[in-house]
């Protein structure tokens, strides 16, 4: 699908990954509608890109409904918004669990439900869901985050099959550890020796490539992490054991502690 001239809704535009995605889509000629919680970032970004903005709390079903009604039809949806969900389950309140499920999983599903029918009727469109490698490989002390990201992958994969031959593409992006910006970078957590990272621009490039080439899934991570995620899908228990030995549990605990105030 051509991005140039397309009406694109991007959620989570004010985060580090969202800003990179917005700039990449703008460079391809997209007509952007940006949503995000940080008004101080959203306004200047929209001005720089000539975009429309809507401030919406995706954890509130009423606010989500308002977003759908105010946006109208779109040609491309990029569901990028997410809340941190790392940390032991016992460290979460029920309200925090609900917010993670609402923002990370329910909101993308509701937005796809709202916009896909018109895309199918027109015979063109694209749905992009930004998941995580945590949606392919479960990690200790990240049960809530993993649940939302595994769920997003399952939904997107099924939708890709459902919309086959409709002219509407469905793609899922799976970032690993992203440096410079984003939830992991802001947490300032040290990784075990040998674990590599990628930059926000790599995620943005993956989003553009997924739309233009109708790619089903794209991992944004070094080869070692991609192979690890593949192995985890066929041998999850062995993968968990290896993660414990390699320090993966400590990374999750450190992330959970750093992100607790952002749930």
pLDDT band per the 50, 70, 90 thresholds, residue 141: confident
Tell me the average pLDDT across 101-120.
Answer: 98
Topology adopted by domain 7-262: Rossmann fold (3.40.50)
pLDDT at 125 over 90: yes
Task: Say which of 92, 115, 129, 145 is annotated catalytic.
Answer: 145
Active site residue 259: no
Task: Please report, for the chain, the start and end positions of each structural domain, with discontinuous segments joined by +.
Answer: 7-262
Residue predicted with more confidence, 68 or 262: 68
pLDDT at 247 over 70: no
Predicted confidence at residue 40, as pLDDT, reads 87
pLDDT digits (tens, 9 = 90+) for 19-36: 999 999 999 999 999 999
Cα–Cα distance, 56 to 34 (Å, whole number)? 10
pLDDT digits (tens, 9 = 90+) for 163-214: 999 999 999 999 998 888 767 777 777 776 667 899 999 999 999 999 999 9
pLDDT at 254 over 90: no
- In DSSP terms, 128 is beta-bridged to 78, 171
């Amino acid at each position: 699908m051509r991005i140039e001239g397309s009406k694109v809704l991007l959620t989570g535009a004010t985060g580090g990954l969202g800003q990179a995605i917005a700039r990449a889509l703008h460079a391809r000629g997209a007509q952007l509608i940006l949503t995000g919680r940080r008004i101080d970032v959203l306004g200047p970004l929209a001005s720089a890109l000539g975009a429309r903005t809507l401030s919406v709390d995706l954890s509130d079903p009423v606010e989500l409904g308002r977003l759908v009604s105010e946006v109208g039809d779109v040609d491309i949806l990029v569901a990028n918004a997410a809340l941190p969900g790392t940390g032991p389950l016992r460290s979460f309140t029920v309200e925090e669990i609900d917010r993670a499920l609402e923002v990370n999983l329910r909101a993308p599903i509701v937005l796809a439900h709202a916009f896909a029918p018109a895309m199918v009727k027109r015979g063109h469109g694209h749905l992009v869901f930004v998941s995580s490698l945590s949606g392919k490989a479960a990690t200790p002390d990240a049960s809530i985050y993993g649940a939302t990201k595994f769920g997003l992958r399952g939904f997107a994969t099924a939708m890709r099959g459902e919309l086959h031959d409709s002219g509407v593409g469905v793609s899922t992006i799976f970032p690993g550890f992203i440096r410079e910006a984003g939830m992991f970078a802001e947490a300032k957590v040290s990784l075990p020796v040998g674990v590599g990272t990628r930059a926000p621009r790599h995620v943005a490039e993956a989003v553009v490539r997924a739309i233009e080439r109708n790619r089903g899934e794209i991992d944004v991570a070094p080869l070692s992490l991609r192979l690890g995620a593949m192995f985890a899908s066929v041998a999850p228990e062995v993968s968990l054991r290896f993660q414990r030995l390699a320090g993966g549990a400590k990374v999750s605990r450190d992330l959970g502690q750093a992100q607790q105030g952002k749930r």
